[in-house]
């Protein structure tokens, strides 16, 4: 591989923004890729994938380079040199002279014996993972979470079907393969920017990980449009990935109320819904008066709760460097409050799904059991729950379905 100065400079700049300025990696990369219109798809892929790799293994690479935050341009270039040497990439003369390749490989061999350094997580997070999951499970899961995420699409069945979308994408140069266990999923054979496709602009699909695509079907269960319309609440909708999946599965019928505390996310959901042709979605900022009026009025309620995000480190590797023990304590308290608050929306005989993109039992199974033992959860029964591990090939996810018993 031949390294180009302007591409390396972009990677170095991005590393500094993410680590010194605390910016989110996806946003930094999005801006970086617009820096030079002359860059082709391979150039953009190099910047994005290399930067994610440096963030993913930041602890390992920085300890090999013996560099610490706050980083400078020069110290970041030394971190980049570690990445290049370990990948067998020759550094050009313009980079810097005298790269200690033998010392880099020696330190890699020595440091790789320690899991927290090898898989690049803070010591406190490694200890927490062992405490909650055990050495064996945590070791496997942590390694899986450091792999590059697959690109999975969800067919928007309001506008097309899997076979038709696959054919159209193929004509546009995007080859996909179906995921048999998920009726609406296609996986890209080769990474590419599918947002540039006409199929995306026409609203024929959304990007949604395979694990995430299991949430909406769990909530709807065996329901079909022939059984009548549903009233559904998506209580932590965000920009609406699961909301749009619900709308698609419901055939655009019934009513979905998508709620969130951030209006900008709801605005994005509205734009996506219009592109998808999903007109049964109503967006609402969270309001106490509305929640009080709507108690016991929803057939189905989805709580895609805010969480640590540990299950999605593949696509958001910078998360592990932003997490703190204090934040985890805070988010667990928020989960308790959200379960208590939004469970009141479920009508008698209705159902609730609680989901997170975390692999920690303290955010998942333990929260559900705590809710069931609380006054708010006394009338609920756990129907089924699923822990999806990153070792299965996609995001780590948890989901539990609860039934509200009749009085």
CA distance 206 to 185: 10
**What are the residues whose beta carbons fall under 8 Å from the beta carbon of 105, sequence distance 6 or more?**
85, 86
CA distance 126 to 139: 9
Say if CB 308 and CB 395 are below 8 A apart: no
The conformation of residue 69, written as its DSSP 8-state character, comes to: S
Instruction: Check 235, 236, 307, 357 and give the catalytic one.
Output: 357
- Is 357 an active-site residue? yes
Confirm or deny that 21 is annotated as ligand binding.
no
CA distance 120 to 147: 12
With H, G, I as helix, E, B as strand and everything else as coil, classify residue 136: helix
Confirm or deny that 304 is annotated as ligand binding.
yes
Give the DSSP letter string of 5-67. Answer: HHHHHHHHHHHHHHHHS---HHHHHHHHTTS-TT--HHHHHHHHHHHHHHHHTHHHHHHHHT-
176-178 sheet: strands from edge to edge = 176-178, 185-188, 152-155, 205-207
Q: Which residues are catalytic?
A: 357
- Residues annotated as binding site for S-adenosyl-L-methionine? 260, 304
């Amino acid at each position: 591989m031949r390294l180009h100065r302007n591409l390396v400079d972009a990677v170095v700049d991005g590393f500094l923004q993410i680590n010194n300025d605390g910016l989110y990696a996806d946003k930094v990369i999005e801006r970086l890729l617009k820096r030079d219109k002359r860059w082709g798809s391979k150039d953009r892929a190099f910047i994005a994938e290399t930067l994610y790799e440096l963030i993913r293994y930041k602890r390992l690479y920085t300890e090999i380079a013996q560099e610490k935050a706050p980083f400078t341009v020069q110290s970041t270039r030394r971190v980049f040199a570690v990445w290049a040497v370990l990948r067998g990439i020759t550094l050009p003369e313009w980079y810097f002279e005298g790269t200690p390749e033998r010392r880099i490989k020696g330190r890699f061999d020595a440091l790789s014996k320690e899991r927290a350094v090898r898989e690049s997580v803070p010591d406190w997070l490694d200890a927490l993972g062992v405490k909650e999951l055990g050495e064996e499970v945590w070791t496997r899961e942590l390694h899986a979470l450091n792999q590059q995420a697959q690109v999975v699409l969800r067919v928007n069945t309001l506008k097309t079907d899997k076979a038709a979308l696959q054919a159209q994408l193929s004509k546009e140069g995007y080859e996909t393969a179906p995921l048999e266990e998920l009726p609406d999923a296609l996986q890209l054979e080769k990474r590419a920017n599918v947002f540039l496709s006409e199929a995306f602009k026409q609203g024929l699909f959304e990007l949604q990980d395979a694990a995430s695509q299991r949430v909406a079907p769990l909530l709807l269960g065996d329901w079909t449009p022939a059984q009548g319309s549903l009233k559904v609440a998506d209580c932590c909708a965000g920009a609406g990935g699961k909301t749009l999946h619900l709308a698609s599965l419901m055939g655009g019928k019934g009513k979905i109320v998508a709620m969130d505390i951030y209006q900008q996310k709801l605005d994005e959901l509205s734009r996506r819904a219009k592109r998808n042709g999903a007109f049964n979605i109503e967006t609402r900022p969270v309001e106490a008066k509305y929640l009080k009026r709507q108690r016991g009025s929803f057939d189905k309620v989805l709580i895609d709760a805010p969480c640590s995000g540990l299950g999605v480190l593949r696509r958001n590797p910078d998360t592990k460097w932003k997490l703190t023990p204090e934040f985890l304590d805070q988010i667990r308290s928020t989960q308790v409050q959200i379960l208590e608050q939004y469970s009141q929306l479920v009508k008698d005989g209705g159902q609730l799904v609680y989901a997170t993109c975390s692999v920690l039992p303290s955010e998942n199974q333990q929260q559900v059991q705590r809710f069931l033992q609380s006054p708010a959860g006394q009338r609920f029964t756990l129907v089924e729950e699923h822990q999806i591990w990153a070792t299965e090939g996609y995001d780590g996810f948890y989901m539990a379905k609860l039934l509200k018993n009749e009085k």
